[in-house]
Amino acid sequence: MQTLNVFYDNLRVGTLTRNDDLIYSFAYDEDWIVHSRAFPVSLALPLSAVTYSNKPTLAFFENLLPEGEVRRTLERHEKIASTFDFLEKFGRDCAGALIITPEAENNADSRSLGIGEEIDLEKIDAAIDQHQSVAEVLAGMDHGYLSLAGAQDKFPAIYKDGKLFIPLGTAPTTHIIKVPIWRSGVKESVANEYYCMELARAVGLTVPHCDMIGRRHPLFIIDRYDREISLEGVVKRLHQQDFCQAQGVPSEQKYEDKGGPSLKDNYRLILTQTPVRSRFKNINLYLDWICFNLIIGNNDSHSKNISLLMRGATNELSPLYDLICTAIYPKLTKQFSFRIGDRSEFSKIGKNQIDLLEDEIEVKRGTFRKRLHNMSEVILENKDRVAEATLEKDSQIKIIHRISDLIDDRIKSLRFQGA
């Protein structure tokens, strides 16, 4: 039997256990259940004295880990082979507010900790040159640092005075940094994501502050929305759960066609789990998220790329993230992440599909179509201005005008199909 502690600040929330048969379980601490600050780590793991079994436990905790080649590379480099081992080594600064430590570490108070070693951007550039995982390079600097969910090569850091630092101990990081994707056929991913995020901001969507930094290679840097910095500079963790975690869905099922949540499932989650006073705002942001991704061609907008953020004692839709035009890359899928009505292929989405979607989520006919029309209009009004501002950062970027032209084509297609 092996055990990991799960902390919020210096309060022990519960224990993650793996038995000799490699079966996982999670149990809340009795003191946490009755604590005035208590909250469930996931809506799929309600506050209770029960011990949760393998499937719901892994659906939350495995979703904290990187995915795909990034995870495999780190596992090879660090000689680890399971979710438990990964969290034991890299659980100090996860997404959200939880700190995961080995059983022997009975305190996770990070208030007196802070900045560690500066991250050498030359090492980052060298890793990119060699198509080496940057996560692997940084893990080599500090063998207990680095745990971010997702398939892209990225790392958390403390960003201060234009420099990047590794945190000391369990100190929280403040930013996430993404390196260029070097998969075949994918070019200028940093500029792509920056442009799409800034376009989202320009049309009124809630997104964190982001920028492009770096030396020889551009890096995409974004404020962590699950961190709050006081006027005194104290960084506080905020709890969050992505829509897979909140619904007890493992990461390999994050896409609807792999058995993951549908647009209706996610709509119902917001409808039932956000406060009445802000439900209308949250629903509208969710519908606008769908519209925006559909128009810009973000076919990777799955259910791990939208989250609930705990504010006070309630859940709200988090600021939007991972907005990128994937449709610009010929080798990537042309299928949208979700079915719109009965279709996921963009060219086949029209009036009938919008009608079906509105019926599925039980909104008045014309509700989604009107939001899609309005989103198209404000994107057309703002995309060229945002493109110019992006190119002012680097005039050599070639992909921005191509994305802008693609957006024009997609809006024309939607209008032609009567969507």
Would you name the residues annotated as active-site residues? 300
- Count other C-beta atoms under 10 Å from residue 415's C-beta: 13
Contact 165, 118 (CB under 8 A): yes
Secondary structure (DSSP) of 327-338:
TTSTTS--EEEE
Q: Distance (Å, rounded) from C-alpha 79 to C-alpha 61? A: 20
Q: Strand runs (DSSP E) across 123-242, as ranges?
A: 154-160, 163-167, 175-178, 210-214, 218-223, 227-229, 235-237, 240-242
Q: Distance (Å, rounded) from C-alpha 387 to C-alpha 409? A: 17
Strands 210-214, 175-178: pairing is: unpaired
Inter-helix orientation angle 134-141/121-129, to 10° = 140
Contact 134, 153 (CB under 8 A): yes
SS3 percent helix, strand, coil of the chain, rounded to 5, is 40, 20, 40
Three-state DSSP class for residue 101: strand
Structure tokens at 291: 């519209």
Contacts of residue 242, Cβ cutoff 8 Å, sequence gap at least 6: 63, 95, 149, 303, 304, 305, 306, 307, 308
Structure tokens at 182: 């070097």
The residue among 398, 394, 43 whose CA lies nearest residue 220 is 394
Contact 341, 356 (CB under 8 A): yes
The half-sphere exposure of 394 on its side-chain side, counting CA atoms within 13 A, is 20
